[in-house]
Structure 1
Amino acid sequence: MRRIDYDTEQYQDYARGRALSERQQQVWISAFGAVLPERRPLVGLDVGSGTGRFTPALARAFGPVTGVEPSVRMREIAQAQSPHPDVRYLAGSAEDMPVPSASADYALMFLSWHHVPDKPQAVRELARVLRPAGRLLLRANFSDHHPRPWWLEHFHRGFETDAALFQPLHEVIAMFTSDGWRVTGFGTVTEPSVGSRGDMLQRLRLRTLSFFAQLSPDELEAGFRRLEEAVAADPDAPAPVFSEPLLTLERS
């Protein structure tokens, strides 16, 4: 996987390219709430918080949240565009979080796990910062449980290239359970459509997905040409939805 430096690429368009509608956000918050303790408030961590697309919503739903993000540029955008009185954004990573031990009830990692270079250290660090019975909500893609978005078929070896960014589910589970964690749930969430195929194409043109960083300029050009031709045939057709994996783990 080609690593992405969010301080030099993607940060300018990330918030637009990955924005969630109010309905999409609510579906995810409901899914998170279903696997978290019922008591409120809960202290949360948004690990790999990026531009803060979830952090304020987590604070509104569950209680105070710390967004942990290594990219200076992404944190600056989050602080400017996603403020909330119960949210703070700190420099850090999944392997090294600047928060006290046993200080959080849950941590969310939303499509950030595949960016973590030292995953075993992240497993240990997540265990450190969570309280006993604390939950990790891991919204990650897995190579053997891949949602296969419709637009990938227009890029050369699109499905294979995208799936190669992610670990298989059993490997992720083994990494956590061998360190004392237990699995409390695995399921899928169907996120509402972003709108039309034309709307989706406009977002994809911003290239804020890790997949695009793995392709050569020629592959990108050819893939977008095929995608644009396909969308042009019916740009107002609803963009298809798909089921997205959510793994829940509990700290021992």
Structure 2
Amino acid sequence: MRAVDYDTEQHQDYARGRALGERQLRVWIDAFDAALPGRRPLAGLDVGSGTGRFTPALAEAFGPVVGVEPSVRMREVAQAQSRHPGVRYVPGAAEEIPVPSDSTDYALLGWSWHHVRDKPGAVRELARVLRPGGRLLLRTNFSDHHPRPWWLEHFPGGYEADASIFQPLHEVIALFTSAGWRVVGFGTVTEPSTGTRAAVLERLRLRTLSFFSQLGPDALETGFRRLEEAVAADPDSPAPVFDEPLLTLQWKPSGP
């Protein structure tokens, strides 16, 4: 996967390109709620928090949240547009989280695991900051459990190119369980439609998905031309929904 430098690309359009409506956000918060302990408040981490797409909603639902984001520009957007009294944004990454050990009840890695370069290091660091029994919400795609969004079919080799960004599920699970984690649950979340096909196309044109960084100019041009033709035939119909994977893990140190 080609690394995305969010300080030089995407940060200015990311919040708009990846915006969620209230219904979409509520579905995700409900899914996270079902995977977390019932007590409140919970101290949380949003690792790879970006422009704060989920961070304020996490704070509102569960308790104080630290948004950890390596990109200066993405943090600037979050601090300007996604403020909440229960949220603070800090520089850091999954491999280097600037919070004390055993200080956190849960961490969300939402749409960011594929950006983590040192995945074994991130597994160790997440174990360091989570309290025993803490939960990790890993919202990522897997190469063998790919949601196959409707628009990908219009790009040459689109499904294969997007799936190549991600690890297979068994590989991710093995990475965590070999380090002392256990799987709590795996399932899918069906996000309500994010609008009409035409509205989705307008957001896709901002190219705020990692997928678009993997394609050459010719494939991008061909894909958008095909997608525009398909959308023009029925622009006002709701965009099709699809199921997105959610893996929940628990940190449980070895010993008595």
TM-score by length of 2: 0.98
How many residues in Structure 1 have an aligned counterpart in Structure 2? 252
Shift of 1:237: 1.1
What's the offset of the Cα at 1:88? 0.2
Name the residue aligned to 1:112: 112
Residue of structure 1 equivalent to 2:98: 98
- Counterpart for residue 136 of structure 1: 136
Superimposed CA distance per residue, residues 224-243 of structure 1 (whole angstroms, 9 cap, x where no aligned partner): 00100010001011100000
SS in 1 for 2:76: helix
Using the alignment, how far apart are the partners of 1:228 and 1:138 within structure 2?
33
The alpha-carbon deviation at position 195 of structure 1 amounts to 0.8
1:129-208 to 2 correspondence within 5 Å? 129-208=129-208
Give me the whole-angstrom Cα distance separating, in 2, the residues matched to 1:203 and 1:40: 35
Tell me by how many angstroms 1:45 deviates. 0.1
**TM-aligned CA deviation for residue 219 of structure 1:** 1.1
Please name the residue that 1:66 is paired with.
66
Unaligned runs of 5+ in 1: none
How many angstroms does 1:200 deviate by?
0.6
- For structure 2, the 5+ residue unaligned runs are none
Structure 1 residue ranges, 4+ long, deviating more than 2 angstroms after superposition: none
Distance in 2 of aligned mates of 1:73 and 1:92:
13
Matching of residue 228 in structure 1 with residue 228 in structure 2: yes
Q: What letter is aligned with 1:133?
A: G
Q: C-alpha distance in 2, partners of 1:194/1:98?
A: 34
CA shift for structure 1 position 218: 1.3
Tell me by how many angstroms 1:170 deviates: 0.2
Aligned partner letter, 2:221: E
Give the residue type in structure 2 aligned to 1:155.
Answer: F
Amino acid of the residue matched to residue 27 of structure 1?
Answer: V
Distance (whole Å) between structure 2 residues aligned to residue 88 and residue 237 of structure 1 = 39
Give the equivalent residue in structure 2 for 1:237: 237
**Partner Cα distance (2:57, 2:226) in 1:** 37
Identical pairs, percent: 79
Deviation per CA, 1:104-154: give whole Å up to 9, x if none: 000001010000000000000000000000000000000000000010010
- Counterpart amino acid of residue 82 in structure 2: S
Matches within 5 A, 1:6-25: 6-25=6-25
Alpha-carbon RMSD: 0.4
1:249 aligns with 2:249: yes
Using structure 1 for the length normalisation, give the TM-score.
Answer: 1.00
